[in-house]
């Protein structure tokens, strides 16, 4: 039986990061809304309660019946999760004068407690809460404090919810061990997941490929499957995985909506041919451009492109009369965002959903449990070309959401040329990294050899996502060859991230930016100014639309 950790999501921005940290410990986990704890938890070895934007005192605060698992399974409460445990079991949670946000140090740590095994005193942690725990429940013990927070961590190693129950360990921390700023956070999570919950650590790319191929063979049999390819990492890995399982019974459809990167349609089709995939390429750019003419609203653009894609894909898929399955490259974060417990839509997602019901196809999502970095590991396990695996995420609507204003073939041409210069520049510019920077790049799976404590990688491999935005509604004054020009500015965007839920702008070298700016202005007709976006997410998003 597959072991798993359940993470109950109370709405924290870092819930997915908890999941990724657990997966990095070669342990399967499932993120569920706070009120969706499974009826059958026979395969669950531990439960983690996430943070939340709410206070436990808010009338609308999310609450869960702790008796469903506490006392039977090891439990770790993080931030709001810790406060909810204390509040529910008779402790005290109170408002403080100001929010406690940012770096803090654990001045006192009980290293004899299994949660803090191997910890150093004065370890840096990350706080983010408005309330604080001022009293812990009976039979619980303080195991960690900071200068300002007495009960930064507390536990009961044999907690029971009632008579006759053997009891199970409960731990609670008011800081966030999942974030990078909590220096020994990974160790804390390892202590909980591996040492306390008893994970066998048997979740890996190799085991995933072996298990999934077997499951796909059993699920699909000799049926024919249609897969919509985008040229990105997720759909490409899904296609190769399915091809390994069912071979020629897989037919892939790659729709060119005219807003891909420069020469991308041709290049990707060649890549797929090398991989031995059966791919039908459809150039539908004229239809998309016609339907987008004059449209400036970003959400409307997405809806038109989504609708047209379905129509084009549907028309092509209907030609494969014996198909019974529709495969998609949906990954775990897509599904988690689609189940957003706040119910608020920030933007529509292109890769969650399906084709019209009249197609009468069953849905197959072989990557539905994987995070992006896990998808890349699976791609390497399948021996796919590295340039396909390391491709940056690219929006489904393509360059349409990187052109502010209406879409025309000429504007797409301008953006494609500028983007091509920028991306090639990122790939060609090499940097040497050491220490924590090198560790993060290697942890992401980028192949690089360590020499004298350093690795050499491209800027492209250091960055999560990069692209150019065309400010087509703006004309900027410039001077070229003693003549005044009124042409468009473009903005370069590059961010570092681990999961795209949060992102920081990449600190690109000045000489690189100077070279790229000069090349774009000199070579791309229609551009006379280059800017660099230094906004982080939040409050900004990675894409501009």
Q: Annotated catalytic sites, by residue?
A: 79, 176, 178
Which DSSP state fits 190? H
How far is 313 from 309, CA to CA, in rounded Å?
Answer: 6
> Residue 162 class from Cβ within 10 Å (0-12 exposed, 13-18 middle, 19+ buried)?
exposed
Rg (C-alpha) for the chain, rounded Å, is 25
Q: Token pair of 7, please?
A: 């993470």
| Cis amide bond preceding 538, omega within 30 | yes
Token pair belonging to 329: 């490259």
Torsion of CA 20, 24, 25, 31, to 10 degrees: 20
Place of tokens 């950790």: 5
CB contact at 8 A, 173 and 153? yes
Q: Give the C-alpha separation, 404 to 420, whole Å.
A: 18
CA–CA separation, 73 and 50 (whole Å): 16
Q: Where are the alpha helices (DSSP H) in 141-220?
A: 185-190, 205-220
| 223 SS3 class | coil
Tokens of 529: 């100014």
């Amino acid at each position: 039986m597959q072991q798993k950790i359940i993470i109950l999501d109370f709405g924290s921005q870092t819930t997915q990061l908890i999941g990724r940290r657990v997966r990095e410990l070669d342990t399967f986990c499932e993120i569920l809304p706070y009120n969706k704890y499974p009826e059958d938890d026979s395969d669950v070895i531990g439960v983690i309660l996430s943070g939340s934007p709410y206070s436990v005192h808010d009338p609308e605060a999310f609450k869960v019946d702790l008796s469903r698992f506490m006392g039977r399974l090891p439990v770790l409460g993080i931030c709001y999760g810790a406060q909810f445990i204390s509040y529910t079991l008779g402790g005290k949670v109170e408002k403080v004068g100001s929010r406690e946000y940012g770096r803090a140090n654990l001045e006192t740590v009980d290293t004899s407690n299994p949660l803090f095994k191997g910890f150093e005193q004065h370890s840096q942690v990350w706080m983010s809460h408005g309330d604080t725990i001022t009293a812990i429940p009976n039979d619980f013990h303080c195991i960690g404090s900071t200068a300002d927070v007495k009960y930064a961590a507390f536990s009961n190693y044999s907690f029971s919810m009632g008579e006759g129950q053997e009891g199970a360990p409960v731990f609670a921390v008011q800081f966030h061990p999942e974030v990078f700023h909590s220096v020994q956070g990974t160790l804390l999570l390892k202590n909980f997941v591996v040492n306390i919950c008893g994970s066998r650590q048997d979740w890996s790319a190799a085991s995933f490929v072996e298990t999934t191929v077997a499951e796909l063979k059993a699920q699909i049999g000799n049926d024919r499957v249609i897969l919509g390819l985008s040229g990105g990492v997720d759909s490409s890995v899904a296609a190769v995985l399915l091809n390994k399982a069912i071979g020629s019974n897989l037919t892939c459809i790659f729709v060119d909506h005219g807003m891909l990167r420069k020469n991308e349609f041709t290049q990707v089709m060649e890549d797929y041919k090398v991989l031995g995939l059966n791919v039908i390429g459809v150039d539908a750019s004229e239809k998309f451009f016609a339907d987008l003419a004059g449209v400036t609203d970003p959400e409307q653009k997405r809806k038109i492109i989504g609708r047209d894609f379905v129509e084009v894909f549907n028309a092509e898929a209907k030609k494969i009369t014996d198909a019974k399955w529709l495969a998609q490259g949906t990954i775990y974060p897509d599904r988690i965002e689609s189940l957003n417990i706040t119910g608020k839509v920030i933007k529509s997602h292109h890769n969650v959903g399906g084709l019209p019901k009249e197609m009468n196809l069953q849905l197959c999502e072989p990557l539905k449990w994987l995070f992006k970095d896990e998808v890349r590991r699976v791609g390497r396990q399948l021996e796919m070309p590295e340039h396909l695996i390391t491709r940056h995420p690219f929006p489904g609507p393509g360059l349409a959401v990187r052109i502010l204003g209406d879409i025309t073939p000429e504007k797409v041409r301008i953006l494609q040329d500028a983007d091509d210069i920028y991306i090639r520049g990122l790939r060609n510019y090499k940097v040497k990294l050491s220490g924590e920077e090198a560790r993060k790049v290697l942890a992401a799976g980028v192949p690089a050899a360590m020499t004298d404590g350093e690795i050499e990688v491209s800027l492209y491999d250091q960055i999560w996502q990069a692209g150019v935005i065309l400010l087509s509604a703006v004309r900027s004054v410039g001077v070229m060859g003693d003549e005044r020009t009124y042409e468009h500015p473009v903005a370069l965007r590059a961010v570092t991230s681990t999961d795209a839920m949060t992102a920081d702008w990449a600190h690109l070298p000045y000489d690189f930016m100077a070279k790229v700016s000069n090349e774009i202005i000199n070579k791309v007709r229609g551009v006379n100014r280059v800017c660099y976006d230094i906004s982080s997410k939040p409050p900004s998003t990675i894409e501009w639309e």
